[in-house]
């Protein structure tokens, strides 16, 4: 496209507040007026502008930008960026698919968002750096000019009724503008030496427009409109985009203001949207890790360009890596809690380890993990400097195995830090917004190299199963009458204990309508778990204790109602304590995975009544083993009066070479007794060998 004004469509209605403040058509005169022509290197541009020769000014500016890209004193985003060996010829060929123009508005759907964020520009850039073939730069020219020439700012249907931008599914949604800014800037920095004059000016005009837009929309929509600094994750993407434009293009007069605005909002965001324990308030690993990445970009960009960001809360940022580390499953992947997937964490571990010089973050990376520069799912490439820091670190085993994030409501029980570790994640905490699921008191279990009891997760938002995947029925908790957990702040965790011999958590959630669910989990370290569910209601209800498994053959014992998986690897055996008082059913339901979704086995134990209890043993075991476990429920007495199982119960758990006795009280009354065992506190656990000798005792 020829250089000219950045086009826009006319509005039929009155201009909106944001639109009225923006240059929706950027003439040459307005564009050059936005530049600081006293900036070193712009002398020839300044002379041409003073003569009102804007064609010559454009030629001089394009020449300056080409040479600036080769200068070591120019703004930096990448330093000493070697081409990673991981960028194979297949990656190069794949990037060729994006060498043509496209229809940028695909309607009210996720495809419009994808097309207008230009994620694939990193593949084009890397392919160009890897091969030196200018066809990739040509592709960028075609795509950038086509987008700039055909997507106007902003179209009427991209604004809400009160004149603010739509958040999704429009080319000029603030989030798409923020991500597009990041991707355009990085690609432009790489391709600048070989772009033609018109492309330089078109992109620089567009970046000016993006910066004006992001600056204004984040003033009005957040500070003015909402009136408080409780932001959502999208604004961080937007502000990183604004910071990149301001930092990478200091030739604009307003660049310093853009940078200041961006970092001020980033300071506020980490202050107001991260809990004191380091968990992002949306409470999903996917968006928590996205914030880790965006903050990292802002920090690295400031470091490379000598920006003072002393106002950024680095202590809280470091705690965010603790959440990633201690909730990671033993294979180094994040648990798929909320709108998340079971994703590899290596890139984030490298970021945190190098930035804070922490060997414990390096400890969890895979042994075959490349120490070359890495690709992050088609996103940005990490600098050699980061990898050099990472390589110098000595891996150190994390100091804790089990860990609690009490503000956010995540509790992790872990036996050790090997790949064979037994791991259970328990969740009971605040509602995290639109990306949260109705999964209170839910669990995820991993052991001996396998995910054994799985959370639903979500990989994308376009499938027909999204509603189910977010529902209570898709999680490993208890469902009441096939209903949904309400969104409420009426939850609590009364106790968390982590020790060498056992872990214990006790949480309660109010279902509403007179129903309360209390779940206790006891970890007999390092072997197995006991789940204790107490449900109390004013009326009769059907209660379903839910468990979900990845696709496998499920064996259900018709007498004991035990459930056994048959994975090719480690497996798990579920044994209920009162098999004759419940029913068991098996269904197939969807679950998210890295391929976009699959079917899972869904098992529930059912009881009905006003007040019921479930006591279930979760016993994981290695490949090749096939343990047989008997669980018998025992009566507990107090002052010679037999208590209900909801008040207190005893379990006799016979596991091959030993017998465990587990007594638990759910009331605060006095001393209790089960057979010849006294229960003076909340829990008594005793292990006896085949000879009946007590070999282990735990009292709580």
Same domain, 493 and 547: yes
Q: Please report the sign of the dihedral spanned by the C-alpha atoms of residue 457, residue 463, residue 466, residue 468.
A: negative
Same domain, 551 and 695: no
Same domain, 580 and 642: no
Q: Please report the sign of the dihedral spanned by the C-alpha atoms of residue 268, residue 272, residue 276, residue 281.
A: negative
pLDDT for position 379: 36
Q: Please report the sign of the dihedral spanned by the C-alpha atoms of residue 347, residue 350, residue 356, residue 362.
A: positive
pLDDT for position 697: 94
Same domain, 556 and 685: no
The residue whose two tokens read 């390096």 is 362
Among the candidates 584, 604, 625, a domain finishes at: 625
Q: Can you tell me the distance from the alpha carbon of 29 to that of 52, in angstroms, rounded to the nearest whole number?
A: 8
Number of domains in the chain: 2
Same domain, 467 and 569: yes
In sequence order, what are the residues at sequence separation of 6 or more whose Cβ sits closer than 8 angstroms to the Cβ of residue 43?
none
Q: What is the mean pLDDT, run by run of 10 residues, along the chain of 700 residues?
A: 34 37 72 96 97 96 86 45 42 45 73 84 77 84 88 61 66 90 91 94 95 81 43 84 95 96 91 93 93 90 88 95 97 93 87 92 74 38 67 93 97 97 97 91 97 87 81 93 88 96 97 92 98 95 93 90 94 93 82 51 87 97 96 92 93 94 89 88 93 93
Whether 662 is covered by a domain: the verdict is yes
Same domain, 452 and 571: yes
The residue whose two tokens read 């390092």 is 526
Q: Can you tell me the distance from the alpha carbon of 206 to that of 149, in angstroms, rounded to the nearest whole number?
A: 10
Tell me, what DSSP letter sits at residue 223? I
Whether 82 is covered by a domain: the verdict is no
Whether 600 is covered by a domain: the verdict is yes
pLDDT for position 218: 75
**Could you check whether the bond before residue 89 is cis, i.e. omega within 30 degrees of 0?**
no
Same domain, 504 and 516: yes
Whether 368 is covered by a domain: the verdict is no
Domain CATH code at residue 499: 2.70.98.70
pLDDT for position 128: 80
pLDDT for position 38: 97
Same domain, 478 and 535: yes
pLDDT for position 591: 59
Whether 363 is covered by a domain: the verdict is no
CB 407 within 8 A of CB 276: yes
Among the candidates 601, 625, 649, a domain finishes at: 625
pLDDT for position 92: 43
Same domain, 619 and 658: no
Same domain, 461 and 596: yes
Whether 29 is covered by a domain: the verdict is no
Whether 598 is covered by a domain: the verdict is yes
Task: For residue 407, give its domain range.
Answer: 403-625
Among the candidates 625, 653, 687, a domain finishes at: 625
Same domain, 543 and 598: yes
pLDDT for position 561: 93
pLDDT for position 551: 86
Q: Can you tell me the distance from the alpha carbon of 98 to that of 119, in angstroms, rounded to the nearest whole number?
A: 11
Whether 561 is covered by a domain: the verdict is yes
In the sheet that holds 672-674, the strands lie side by side as 641-642, 637-638, 672-674, 677-679
Same domain, 478 and 532: yes
């Amino acid at each position: 496209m020829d250089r000219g004004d950045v086009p826009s469509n006319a509005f039929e209605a009155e201009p909106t507040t944001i639109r009225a403040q923006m240059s929706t058509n950027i003439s040459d005169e307005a564009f050059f007026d936005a530049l600081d022509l006293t900036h070193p290197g712009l002398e020839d541009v300044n002379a041409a502008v003073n003569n009102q020769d804007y064609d010559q000014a454009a030629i001089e500016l394009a020449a300056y930008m080409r040479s600036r890209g080769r200068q070591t004193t120019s703004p930096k985003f990448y330093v000493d960026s070697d081409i990673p060996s991981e960028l194979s010829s297949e990656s190069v060929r794949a990037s060729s698919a994006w060498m043509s123009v496209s229809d940028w508005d695909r309607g009210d759907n996720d495809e419009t968002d994808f097309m207008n964020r230009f994620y694939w520009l990193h593949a084009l850039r890397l392919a160009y750096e890897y091969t030196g073939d200018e066809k990739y730069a040509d592709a960028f020219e075609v795509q950038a000019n086509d987008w700039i020439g055909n997507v106007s700012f902003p179209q009427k249907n991209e604004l809400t009724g009160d004149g603010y931008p739509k958040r999704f599914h429009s080319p000029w949604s603030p989030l798409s503008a923020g991500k597009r800014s990041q991707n355009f800037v990085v690609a432009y920095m790489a391709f600048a030496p070989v772009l033609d004059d018109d492309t330089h000016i078109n992109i620089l005009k567009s970046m000016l427009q993006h910066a004006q837009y992001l600056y204004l929309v984040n003033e009005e929509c957040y500070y003015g409109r909402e009136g408080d600094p409780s932001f959502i994750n999208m604004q961080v993407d937007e502000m990183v985009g604004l910071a990149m434009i301001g930092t990478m293009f200091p030739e604009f007069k307003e660049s310093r203001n853009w940078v200041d605005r961006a970092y001020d909002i980033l300071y506020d965001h980490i202050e107001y949207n991260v809990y004191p324990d380091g968990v992002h308030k949306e409470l999903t690993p996917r968006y928590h890790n996205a914030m880790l990445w965006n903050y990292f970009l802002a920090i690295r960009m400031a470091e490379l360009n000598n920006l003072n960001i002393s106002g950024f809360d680095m202590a809280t940022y470091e705690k965010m890596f603790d959440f990633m580390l201690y909730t990671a499953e033993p294979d180094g992947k994040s648990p798929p809690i909320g709108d998340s997937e079971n994703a590899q964490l290596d890139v984030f571990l490298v970021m945190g380890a190098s930035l804070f010089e922490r060997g414990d973050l390096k400890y969890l990376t895979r042994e075959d993990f490349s120490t070359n520069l890495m690709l992050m799912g088609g996103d940005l490439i990490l600098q050699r400097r980061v990898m050099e820091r990472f390589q110098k670190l000595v891996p150190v085993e994390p100091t804790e195995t089990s860990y609690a994030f009490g503000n956010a409501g995540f509790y992790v029980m872990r036996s050790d830090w090997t790949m064979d570790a037994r791991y259970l994640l328990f969740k009971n905490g605040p509602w995290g917004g639109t990306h949260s699921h109705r999964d209170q008191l839910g669990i995820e279990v991993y052991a001996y190299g396998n995910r054994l009891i799985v959370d639903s997760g979500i990989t994308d938002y376009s499938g027909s199963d999204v509603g189910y995947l977010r529902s209570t029925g898709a999680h490993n908790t208890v469902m009441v009458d096939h209903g949904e957990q309400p969104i409420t702040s009426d939850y609590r965790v009364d106790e968390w204990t982590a020790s060498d011999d056992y872990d214990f958590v006790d949480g309660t959630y109010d279902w509403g309508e007179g129903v309360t669910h209390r779940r206790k989990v006891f970890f007999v370290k390092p072997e197995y778990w006991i789940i204790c569910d107490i449900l109390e209601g004013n009326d009769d209800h059907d209660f379903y204790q839910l468990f979900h498994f990845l696709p496998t053959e499920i064996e259900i014992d018709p007498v004991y109602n035990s459930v056994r998986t048959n994975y090719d690897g480690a497996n798990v055996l579920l044994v209920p304590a009162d098999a004759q008082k419940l029913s068991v059913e098996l269904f197939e339901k969807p679950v998210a995975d890295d391929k976009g979704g699959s079917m899972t086995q869904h098992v529930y134990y059912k009881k009905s009544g006003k007040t019921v209890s479930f006591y279930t043993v979760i016993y994981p075991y290695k490949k090749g083993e096939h343990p047989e476990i008997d669980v018998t429920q025992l009566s507990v007495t107090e002052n010679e009066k037999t208590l209900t199982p909801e008040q207190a119960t005893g379990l006799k758990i016979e596991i091959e070479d030993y017998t465990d006795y587990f007594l638990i009280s759910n009331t605060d009354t006095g001393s209790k007794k089960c057979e010849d065992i006294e229960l003076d506190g909340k829990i008594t656990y005793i292990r006896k060998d085949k000879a009946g000798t007590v070999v282990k005792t735990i009292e709580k």
